[in-house]
Amino acid sequence: MKNLLLTLVIAFSCTMTFAQQKLFTVGLRAGVNLSQISGNDLSLSSGGKNFSFKANDTRAYGFVGGIFMRFGKTFFIQPEILLSQKGGKFDVFEDGKANGRTIDLKLTNIDFPVLIGVKISDVFRINAGPIATFRLSDSGNLGDSIKEYQGRAASEIFRDVILGYQAGVGFDIGKLNIDLRYEGNINDVVNVKFSDVNTASKFAAKGNSLQATLGFNF
């Protein structure tokens, strides 16, 4: 207990020191994700017909928002905790021809980006770093469609943890922050698994998104 109290006191003292020297800020940021998913097509056969799901280039809109902390001034580290919505669209093809149906995919996640950046001026900065995304829920549309066309459900469709990276620019105007970022994935977001290994290997997809947010630091 004494060690825990001592650790908390030291952490609080360091935070206050950073804050007094204007080397630590905390704030909120919120905005929009424009995301898409791209990868291999998923091909299914049912009732003598062949069906396929092909990623659509159209970006899906989603909300992003949460808290950020910044340690440092000219050179800084900025960890964040964000609730975010990302997704994409898939067009359905029947025997090689589009059947007019589009599947909207939306995932709700908790994001943990850790950015390393540098301020070029009092207003302008650049930053980049890794991000870990933990899936909370999905819209269910893709899984329902697979079962509809295949007659059976996939045991796994989405990865629970996605690793990626973010890079972008920011503008600090007083207490207001404007951020524009690109995000890419290292591993697959969509990874459909059936009992048939050959089928599973045919369909995997990564995501990427453009993000714009407005923030306020206290």
Tens digits of residue pLDDT in 56-107: 888 889 999 999 999 998 999 999 999 999 988 888 887 777 777 788 888 8
Question: Does residue 15 belong to any structural domain of this protein?
Answer: no
Domain count, the chain: 1
Question: Does residue 12 belong to any structural domain of this protein?
Answer: no
Question: Does residue 19 belong to any structural domain of this protein?
Answer: no
Nearest-angstrom CA–CA distance, 130 and 140: 28
Amino acid occupying residue 190:
V
The alpha carbon torsion through 142, 145, 150, 154 (nearest 10 deg) reads 30
Question: Does residue 6 belong to any structural domain of this protein?
Answer: no
Question: Does residue 188 belong to any structural domain of this protein?
Answer: yes
Tell me which residue range forms the domain holding 72. 24-217
The mean-pLDDT minimum among 59-73, 82-96, 127-141, 144-158 falls in 144-158
Question: Does residue 10 belong to any structural domain of this protein?
Answer: no
CB atoms < 10 A from the CB of 133, how many? 24
Query: Pick from 93, 91, 121: which is nearest to 105 by CA?
Result: 91
Higher pLDDT, 63 or 158: 63
The structure's pTM equals: 0.80
Nearest-angstrom CA–CA distance, 53 and 40: 9
Residue 136 sits in a domain whose CATH number is 2.40.160.20
- Element holding 142 (H helix, E strand): helix 141-150
